[in-house]
Chains A and B, each alone.
Chain A
Amino acid sequence: MHRQSLQKFYGWFTALGLLVGVLVGVGYYRDEYRPWKDYQRRFIREEIRRAATPEQRLLAQSTALQVRQILLPELNRVDRCTTCHLAVEDPSYGGYPQPLAYHPLHDEHPFDKFGCTICHRGQGRATTVEDAHGKVPHWDDPMLPLKFIQASCGQCHEASDNPAAPQLARGEQLFETVGCRGCHKLGGVGGIVGPELDKVGARRSPDWLKQHFLEPAAVTPGSGMPPQKFSETDADAIVLFMLSQTGAELPVFYASMKVIPSAAQGRRLFQQKGCIGCHSLGGQGGKVGPALDDVASRRKPEWIVQHFRDPQTVSPGTVMPRFGFTEAEARALTDFLLHQRDQKVALDLPSLMTPIDRGRDVFRKYGCAGCHGPEGKGGVPNPNAKTAQQVPALTYVADGYTKAELRKLVTNGQREIAALDPQRPVPPLYMPPWGSTIKDAEMDDLVAYLFSLKPKGEDLGF
């Protein structure tokens, strides 16, 4: 009896044992077979093919299949992209199809210090194509499409100062001129009608952003944001600028790269450091030091740079103080002086401008144009507002308000906007209080500017 019932067990043991064995085998295969190994084999084959000497050939043949990674403890990243992208540092692979293509910019951004995902995004720890490129569920940070790659420059570099990222600079310029700050805060400056934008680049996809600019209500139902009429390239540029606003706090090494010398930065320094107190440009400025209009033709670049580093070394006895500029700042200032003519840089020094001109800058700086239109001409829709369903134009504020009243209105804002039809939703756009943001002197200039909007010769109407 024992023997018979045992026979039955043997069959079961064999079957289940085989089943477990097969499953372990399948599990092993799935674990062992990883697509990156195919890419590495392809690379090794290519290296063997290219080997010029037997030694090189031997070296290529003995390359082990292994996960390669760039450890970036400061950035809290591990980038394993080079497991498949094996030739990113080898210029002789220029023009190769992916994943074996060479990646330029290696000198400026050494990959062992920067990795890949800090610019390209995606999932650095992953080792399969879909996961690594981040286009998988539950990964928030897919790879940035290449056409938006300049957004990543903006994480470390000043947008306007990076000659290698013209789209980013254009995006920032658009952001500052179309009046986004009237409703949105960025870097702590702006209105409170719309959401803050400090981390918008980490939160939103390029497609979402683009759609949001062209037709806000399509992606955010009930949004009061006026649709923007951007050209295709401008839309991409401002999307790109938005994408650069990730709010990432980078460690010192990367943040210190923020300044790359550029004429624009030199121009800003020139204003900030008060150079104009002693020197003049275009007839504006002090007479203590020489005029700088033609400095480029009088001095060699090396002389100018050295002059910024330590004036006494090239110009003994000069009264110009040593400002202690950093190397980048000295080069930026030199750049500015050498190229001021080419770029037709107008200095627009605030101290030399009229209150109205300064007020115009204030109007632009805080994005008033976003709602009130360029030059306060109006035309921005505000559905269901009593004022013709638009944000009111500012052309004739001088008729309706005294300067003190206008100042008060801008300072306190106006939360309640009279509705045309009480049954319909309240008008989405309203006037935020600007008192805590716009400084006193700026407010004076702004009011002066707003009063100046009234067309000349219409004073006699009453």
Chain B
Amino acid sequence: MKTPSPLGLWAWFAGTRVGRSIFRVGPPRSNLERSQAMVSSFLLHVQPAKVSRHSLRASYSLGLGLISLYLFFILTGTGVLLMFYYVPSTTQAYDRMKDLQFVVSAGLVVRNMHRWAAHLMVAFVMLHMCRVFYTGAYKQPREFNWLLGVGLFLTTLGLSFTGYLLPWDQLAFWAITVGSNIAGYAPVVGPGIKYLLLGGNTVGQEALTRFYALHVIVLPAVAGLMVAVHLFRVRKDGGLSRPDEPAEDAQSIPLGQLPTNKSYGLMELARGTTPQVGRDPDDEVFAWPHLIFRELLLFLLVVAFVLFLAVFWNAPLEELANPIHPPNPAKAPWYFLGLQELVSYSAFWGGVVVPALLVTALALLPYLDRRREGVGRWFARERRVANTVFSICLVIAIALTIVGTMFRGPNWGWVVPWRTPPAMTQEH
């Protein structure tokens, strides 16, 4: 690399004795070195040395899963920083929020980043799920990875929900009160689950302690592990889904017939639907730099966007939590507002049946829908029925969420968002 470039310095360093000891391979100059670069690095090894051109197409994956992963990284980083200041105590938590805002260097920006990245992660995990559905990517052999994805979606909701309580302001207190009440509507086990979650019948210090432990240890560990397996399975299941995948009985190549002129020959020992099987090598490019550079760019883009939000918009912080002064209406976090809207019609249907059915249906989906047509294409004609059903559910969920978010005022009555409701005097 003769021309001065942002990577020039790095390339020079990687070529030095020290750099070589770290990276094992210097700046890759041949195809052999390009694949070695991937295989030699712990961080890059999770990805293949060569990827299909189709997988690089932004219009196919939209990068949604990767964006979710990056948001998870940002959340971990900012979360650790916030932990340096946060105290999970009902008498101190709120004050710590104020201190972050007023005296801690960059405290406000870090909190803002954490808050906005959390909302974005919930949104992007949902979008990622929609992408996977509309491209039929959950089908064999990726059924289990879809199941993991459903688990990750629930874990993401759990992370967001447990984090919601931690500022200990009115917003936090009453959103968690409403949210945990929805959990309590389940027959037989509901009250028990609610009690277990809150460590009592109402939101208090016990709930804050539990939510904190869940938020900073349990759920991140679960999510991290599941993300690792999720990515591992993406790789093992043959990379991103593509049209015209090999059938299950794709022939495995006997060891003796392995071509010897390829630098990545050993890869082909893998059985089944690895990227190398039944594929024209011309259709593939080296992950370094084609995939890695794109991933880095996307990371920069996500960081830039979250920073942009965090610098110009502050995370909400309302009054100190006051258990005897509920806001009217008290609303759950936005991703539960569709459920809350349903609950307002029927606690049993909205709080129990619908969410239970939805999660069950999502989990069983790849095992029920076993036709293999239309995989790897958006809105494939062959999948018209499935797509229509999914779209209808999606539109209903979005509509309910919008209604719950914007059109519900005091006493869950109908309000029109562009008209300010009359001032409420809460007289004793």
The 13 sampled A-B contact pairs (Cβ below 8 Å) are: A9-B293, A10-B5, A10-B7, A13-B7, A19-B304, A23-B308, A27-B311, A31-B108, A80-B103, A125-B95, A125-B102, A126-B101, A131-B102
Question: Would B304 and A20 count as touching, CB distance under 8 A?
Answer: yes
A10 to B: closest C-beta gap in Å: 6
Asked if residues A126 and B300 are in contact (CB atoms below 8 Å), the reply is: no
B6 touches A14 (CB 8 A): yes
Taken together as a complex, chains A and B put the C-alpha atoms of A304 and B304 apart, in Å, by 78
Interface SS, A side:
helix
* Cross-interface CB contact of B319 among A17, A19, A138, A219, cutoff 8 Å: A138
**B318 at interface by CB-CB < 8 Å:** yes
| From B98, B293, B308, contact of A125 by CB (8 A) | B98
A351 at interface, CB cutoff 8 A: no
- CB closest chain-A residue, reference B303: A20
B231 to chain A, nearest CB (A): 23
- Return B302 CB to nearest CB of chain A, in Å: 10
From 1 to 52 in chain A, residues with beta carbon under 8 angstroms from any chain B beta carbon are 2, 5-6, 9-10, 12-14, 16-17, 19-20, 23-24, 26-28, 30-31
Rank and list the top 3 A-B pairs by shortest CB-CB distance, nearest first: A16-B300, A23-B307, A125-B98
| CB-CB nearest in chain B for A12 | B297
Complex Cα spacing A19 to B304, Å: 7
* Chain A residues, Cβ within 8 Å of B428: 195
Q: Kindly state the separation between the CA atoms of A125 and B170 in the bound complex, as whole angstroms.
A: 18
Given that A24-B307, A125-B95 are contacting pairs, would A16 and B301 also be in contact in the complex, using a CB cutoff of 8 Å? yes
B274-305 with Cβ < 8 A to chain A? 289-290, 293-294, 296-297, 300-301, 303-304
Q: How far is B240's CA from A256's CA once the two chains are assembled, in angstroms? A: 73
User: Given A13-B6, A20-B300, A138-B318 in contact, is the A80-B102 Cβ separation under 8 Å?
Assistant: yes
Judged by a CB distance under 8 angstroms, whether B257 is at the interface is no
A312 within 8 A of B: no
Task: Specify which chain A residues have a CB less than 8 angstroms from the CB of B95 in the assembled complex.
Answer: 78, 125
CB distance from B89 to the nearest CB of A (A): 12
Shortest Cβ distance from B99 into A: residue: A125
Asked if B425 lies at the interface with its beta carbon under 8 angstroms from chain A, I say: yes
Q: Residue A278 at the B interface, CB < 8 A? A: no
Chain A nearest CB, measured from B13 CB (Å): 17
Q: Does A152 contact B (CB under 8 A)?
A: no
Would you give the 0/1 interface string for B100-126, flagging 1 where the beta carbon is closer than 8 Å to chain A? Answer: 011101101100000000000000000
Size range of the interface on A? 35 or more
Question: From residue B27, how far is it (CB to closest CB) to chain A in Å?
Answer: 12
The residue that A17 contacts in the complex, of B91, B290, B300, with Cβ under 8 A, is B300
Set of chain A residues within 8 Å of B304, measured between Cβ atoms: 16, 19-20, 23
Contact call A31/B99, Cβ cutoff below 8 A: no
Set of chain B residues within 8 Å of A16, measured between Cβ atoms: 297, 300-301, 304
The yes or no answer to A76 lying at the interface (CB within 8 A) is yes
By a CB distance below 8 angstroms, the chain A residues around B310 are 27
Q: Report the interface size class on chain B.
A: 35 or more
Instruction: Say whether A401 faces chain B, with CB atoms less than 8 Å apart.
Output: no
Q: How near does chain A come to B183, taking the closest CB pair, in angstroms?
A: 27
Q: Are A139 and B319 in contact (CB under 8 A)?
A: yes
- A246 adjacent to chain B (CB < 8 Å): no
B72 to chain A, nearest CB (A): 19
Per-position binary interface string of chain A over residues 109-132, scored 1 when its CB falls under 8 Å from any chain B CB and 0 otherwise: 000000000000001011110010
Complex-state Cα separation, A358 to B105, whole angstroms: 66
Q: Does A221 contact B (CB under 8 A)?
A: yes
Minimum CB–CB distance from A19 to chain B (whole Å) comes to 5
B311–A9 CB distance below 8 A: no
Question: Which residues of A lie under 8 Å from residue B229 when comparing CB positions?
Answer: none
Asked if B427 is at the interface of the complex by the 8 Å CB criterion, the answer is yes
Measured CB to CB, the residues of B under 8 A from A are 5-7, 91, 95, 98-99, 101-103, 105-106, 108-109, 169-170, 289-290, 293-294, 296-297, 300-301, 303-304, 307-308, 310-311, 317-319, 425, 427-428
Excluding A10-B7, A17-B6, 8 further A-B contacts by CB distance (< 8 Å) are: A10-B5, A10-B6, A13-B297, A23-B307, A23-B311, A27-B106, A128-B102, A220-B427
Given the known A-B contacts A127-B102, A138-B317, are A76 and B427 also in contact in the complex, defined by CB atoms under 8 Å? Answer: no
A293 at the interface (CB under 8 A from B): no
Q: Are B91 and A76 in contact (CB under 8 A)?
A: yes
C-alpha spacing A75/B319, complex, angstroms = 19
A31 in contact with B105 (CB, 8 Å): yes
- Give Cα A20 to B319, complex, Å: 33
**Chain B residues whose C-beta falls within 8 Å of the C-beta of A27 in the assembled complex:** 106, 109, 307, 310-311
Q: Are A31 and B106 in contact (CB under 8 A)?
A: yes
A58 within 8 Å of B (CB atoms): no
A295 in the interface (beta carbon within 8 A)? no
Per the bound structure, the CA–CA distance linking A221 and B300 in Å amounts to 56
Minimum CB distance partner of A132 in chain B: B102
A140 at the interface (CB under 8 A from B): yes
A345 in the interface (beta carbon within 8 A): no
Contacts of B425 in A (CB 8 A): 219-221
A67: interface (CB < 8 Å): yes
**Is the CB–CB distance between A5 and B319 below 8 Å?**
no
A-side contacts of B301, CB under 8 Å: 16
Q: Distance in Å from the Cβ of A246 to the closest Cβ of chain B?
A: 15
A9 nearest CB across to chain B (Å): 5
Residue of B nearest to A78 (CB): B95
**Shortest distance from the beta carbon of B75 to any chain A beta carbon, whole Å:** 17
Which A residues are in CB contact (< 8 Å) with B102? 80, 125-128, 131
- Cα–Cα distance between A221 and B428 once the two chains are bound (Å): 13
B contact residues around A195 at 8 Å (CB): 427-428
When chains A and B are docked, how far (Å) is the Cα of A126 from the Cα of B94?
Answer: 13
Chain B nearest Cβ from A317, distance in angstroms:
58
A442–B308 alpha-carbon span in the complex (Å): 71
Residues of B within 8 A of A221 (CB): 425
> Which residue of chain B is the closest to A20 with respect to CB atoms?
B304
Report how far A78 CA is from B170 CA in the complex, Å.
21
The reply to whether B319 and A26 form a contact with Cβ atoms under 8 Å apart is no
Residues of A197-241 contacting chain B, CB below 8 A: 219-221
